[in-house]
Amino acid sequence: MPNLGPLEIGLILLAILLLFGYKKLPDASRSLGRSLRIFKGEMKGMKDDDVRTKDAAKTSPVRGEVLPPAPAADREREALEAEARAAEARAAELRARATQTGPADSTR
């Protein structure tokens, strides 16, 4: 970026004066000042949010104790296991019966 000398700065100020006019220049600079103040406040708010977020991350994690399964869940599990064992026994019985009788007759 080239260095701006006094001549360049003077030309920029002259261009601004010609663009806005003598009467509108104070209002424009006031408006620019307000905008910069709002921008600065928003940036400070964002920094504060970052600090709060970092502080929240520094807190210790929640530690809970592991509880044993509920008795109802144990009963449910046992019932399902018994049902599965019965189904496996029935399937084994059907397989044994199928091997004893041989292939099905096609005349039926």
Break the chain into its structural domains and give their ranges.
Answer: 7-56+72-100
The confidence score (pLDDT) of residue 103 equals 63
Q: For 79-88, how does the pLDDT look when each residue is reduced to its tens digit (9 = 90+)?
A: 999 999 999 9
For the segment 34-56, what is each residue's pLDDT rounded down to a tens digit?
999 999 999 998 888 877 777 76
Q: Higher model confidence: residue 38 or residue 72?
A: 38
69 closest CA partner among 77, 61, 57, 60: 77
Q: Residue 42 has what DSSP assignment?
A: H
- Residue 83 phi, psi (nearest 5): -65, -40
Query: Is the full-model pTM beyond 0.75?
Result: no
